[in-house]
Amino acid sequence: MASTTRVPPLPLHHRHHLLLHLPLLVTAAVLALGGAEAGKVPAIYVFGDSTADVGNNNYLQGSNAKANFPHNGIDFPFSRPTGRFSNGYNGIDFLAIHMGFRRSPPSFLSLTNKTNHQIFKGLKGVNFASGGSGILDSTGSTVTMTKQIQYFSTIRSSIMTQIATETTYHLLSRSIFLISSGGNDIFAYFTKNNSPNTTEKDQFVATLVSQYENHLKALYTLGARKVGIVDVPPIGCCPYPRSLNPTGGCLDILNELSLGLNKAVRSLMLHLSSTLEGMKYSVGSSYEVVSGIIRNPEALGFKEIKTACCGAGKFNGQSGCTPNATYCSERHRFLFWDLLHPTHATSKLAGSAIYYGSQQFASPINFRQLVEDEN
């Protein structure tokens, strides 16, 4: 039987730091929403899973990993279900807003027949992320990370036909490459082995990190120099895993695997940045942000941290947010939108903390420092 994860209380000085700064960061996010300033980087290229997908899966025949129907998008402009697994924006949207864009760049598969505007030509960025995918190509049945990178390669070739090769490399070297992946790999592993020993956990994480390294080197070869990684949150505390636990608590093993992967990815990025000339990076910690909300929900404006806003069954975590599902009215006070994904409000807080925050939330530098680095 899965044990209940007891999130240890934050040390007082850290707790004060989190409570003091996160509300200020939310204010900064609100202010950022007001301006339609030019992008602070030439383009944003996004890779990953449903935490980053803005509609690629809408175009996949036969896939059920979709969110292009109500009640998804109820708080998006014009209450439009775009394919985001959210009631509004996802974390990538908020990071893009902080970088001076309207929201995430458009999904790659929505652009295949549009050629007139520079955004459609990839010059302002493209989002390749696909819900259900993972670091391993064996995870899920949607657009694999390898395929996402191949799609980027086609965009890069398209850019090179529009502007000189040297100019393309300069544009890509100043652009931001965002990656948010790993949770689905952990879920897939858990379904096969729900009580791995330490050796098995270490072997699994090593396999993931080895493949992550291959993906990052492929992007580097294609011109990526500024990489922003969003780590895996405490997925054992999502409503779906809680619904599997007789105690209703978080599933320890999922959080342990998330922490193990996150630690290994930080070591990998440190290694790559010291061996690949010109590579700069930041690892943003959605794990820290979500853990902080779970520890001190009221102080951060949240009321419900266990039950999803939209869904059905125990914790609303036993089925997805479908048009027939019930949904909450105080969506801004819920940590989770559906059985696995955060609300617009949670993503807003995470985006601010990762972009502007201390090393608790992004390291070795935050995303703002990555964006502003001119060296």
Active site residues: 50, 338, 341
The encoded tokens of residue 248 equal: 């209703």
* CA pair distance 96, 127, nearest whole angstrom: 11
* H/E element, 24: helix 12-34
**C-alpha to C-alpha distance for 288 and 233, rounded to whole angstroms:** 7
Q: Is the peptide bond before 246 cis (omega within 30 degrees of 0)?
A: no
- In one letter, which amino acid is 340? L
- The pair phi, psi for residue 5, each rounded to 5°, is -80, 120
Residue 179 phi, psi (nearest 5)? -130, 130
Cα separation, 326 vs 70, whole angstroms:
11
Cα(270)–Cα(132) distance, rounded to whole angstroms? 28
Select from 300, 293, 327, 307 the least CA-distant residue to 87: 327
Closest of 310, 300, 314 to residue 331, by C-alpha: 310
Confirm if 24 and 86 have CB atoms less than 8 A apart. no
H-type alpha helices, 163-321? 165-174, 183-192, 198-221, 239-244, 252-275, 286-295
